[in-house]
Amino acid sequence: MFQLNDNYLKLPGSYLFSTIGKKVREYQAAHPDQKVISLGIGDVTQPLAPVIIDALHRAVDEMGHRETFHGYAPDLGYEFLRTTIAKHDFQARGADISADEIFISDGAKCDCSNIQEIFSQDNTIAVCDPVYPVYVDSNVMAGRTGTYDPQSGVWSDVIYMPCTMDNDFVPELPKKTPDLIYLCYPNNPTGSTLTKDQLQVWVDYANRVGAVILFDAAYEAYISEENVPHTIYECEGARTCAIEMRSFSKNAGFTGVRLGFTVIPKDIQRDGVALHALWARRHGTKYNGAPYIIQRAGEAVYSPEGKEQLTKQVAYYMNNAAVIKEGLCKAGYRVSGGVNAPYIWMKTPDGMTSWQFFDELLNKANVVGTPGSGFGPSGEGYFRLTAFGTYESTLEAVRRIQRL
Ligand SMILES: Cc1ncc(COP(=O)(O)O)c(C=O)c1O
């Protein structure tokens, strides 16, 4: 008789987005004339840039001819894309990363949930709180998190690093020593980020205690301030302790196209074994690569026209972020984020819980956001709005919130 992976049964269920969806559907059914605006989900709304569409068309045509047809992609991804990434995302920023340390994938979600496979089950993970839920849930599935307390929303074997207004959303070094440290900067959900000096503290710490930092830089394209590092490899010593995950979803609108990559420097070793070799083995065994067509589209992101068109797209979303942030500040809310990230993180007013504020916003302003408590215990009392809507709907949503 087959047995289940019991770890899956420990997962508390995806209440957050299903509960949001249910509440919105019920409200809409009861009020069919009201137009609900969603600033809740982290999905892009702008179409793919022309330079990407052109690259896709060209690559599709290539697939129709024997001479230019492509079958399985190389294990690590096509050389043309890995070389381009190494040059533009790393070497141009003074970060010593070579093309053969880059693994192309179909996105950061898979990579940041799968990467834990190459580590022992006995490793202890540390996460920021609030946190992108994938880091915790993937470790629950692997049996690394202990037991769940539904009252507090806390797993017994996970080290939580609270990020709240009290510490300006900058996590403190944990008291108990972790083996794996998940960091996401610019941050989802708080929209905060770390300066280079602040990130250097984490790199030094990881090297000192022998931990690995799993650095999710999915929102790198949204960085606007000078002293914010675009890659963890701008920090000294990161080559011996940090793995970085990147995505084409938010910088180039690939949420439905799917492309990402993971960087594992060959210098991260344990007892003479390089993590790079383990991930290469895992990639070769379990993954057959992002499609050629998509990798060509990824290459176009780095062309001069690609950079120009995508800078405009990111600016469009960041203008929305500014509209939300300024509008809510004027209305008296305490608001952060939105400067180096497409997320606005606000304190709920009058001591309301995250869900009470969700209901208030839905019922009185017909605006949907995401309750902060859905991202972890320290998210209680906060609320996330995203800048990924259209300009018009963002403006209208802010007007409605201001009228509350
Ligand atoms: C922090 C973070 N990492 C990764 C992802 C997923 O990226 P991808 O679309 O490349 O899987 C998201 C998506 O919202 C995210 O917020």
Cα atoms found within 13 Å of the Cα of residue 79, Cβ hemisphere only: 0
Torsion-angle region of 92 (φ positive above 0: left; ψ -120 to 50: alpha; else: beta): alpha
Cα of 294 to ligand 1 centre, how many Å? Answer: 17
Q: What is the dihedral of CA 191, 192, 194, 198, to 10 degrees?
A: -150
Partnered with residue 274 across adjacent β-strands are 269
Taking the C-alpha atoms of residue 247 and residue 42, their distance in angstroms, rounded to an integer, is: 13
Ligand 1 close to Cβ of residue 388 (< 6 A): no
Helix ranges (DSSP H) in 31-74 = 50-63
Entry pTM: 0.97
Domains and CATH numbers, the chain: 13-42+305-402 (3.90.1150.10), 52-302 (3.40.640.10)
CA distances from 373 to 86, 315, 348, 378 (A): 37, 29, 11, 7
222 burial level (CB within 10 Å; 0-12, 13-18, 19+):
buried
pLDDT of residue 371: 97
Sign of CA dihedral 182, 222, 108, 22: positive
The amino acid occupying position 18 is S
Cα of 225 to ligand 1 centre, how many Å? Answer: 22
pLDDT of residue 19: 87
Counting ligand 1 atoms within 8 A of each CB, the residue from 249, 254, 301, 343 with the most, and so the one to mutate, is 249
Ligand 1 close to Cβ of residue 104 (< 6 A): no
Q: What is the dihedral of CA 89, 192, 373, 250, to 10 degrees?
A: -30
Cα of 43 to ligand 1 centre, how many Å? Answer: 9
Ligand 1 close to Cβ of residue 336 (< 6 A): no
pLDDT per residue as tens digits for the range 92-142: 999 999 999 999 999 999 999 999 999 999 999 999 999 999 999 999 999
pLDDT of residue 334: 97
Taking the C-alpha atoms of residue 135 and residue 117, their distance in angstroms, rounded to an integer, is: 12
Helix axes 292-300, 50-63, angle to 10 degrees: 150
Please report, for the chain, how many H helices and E strands are present, in that order: 13, 17
The distance from CA 31 to its chain's CA centroid, rounded to whole angstroms, is: 34
Cα of 109 to ligand 1 centre, how many Å? Answer: 5
The amino acid occupying position 27 is Y
Helix ranges (DSSP H) in 187-303 = 196-209, 249-252, 275-286, 292-300
Ligand 1 close to Cβ of residue 114 (< 6 A): no
The list of the chain residues with pLDDT below 70 reads 14-15
pLDDT of residue 15: 67
Sign of CA dihedral 55, 61, 65, 66: positive
For residue 224, give both structure tokens: 């606007």
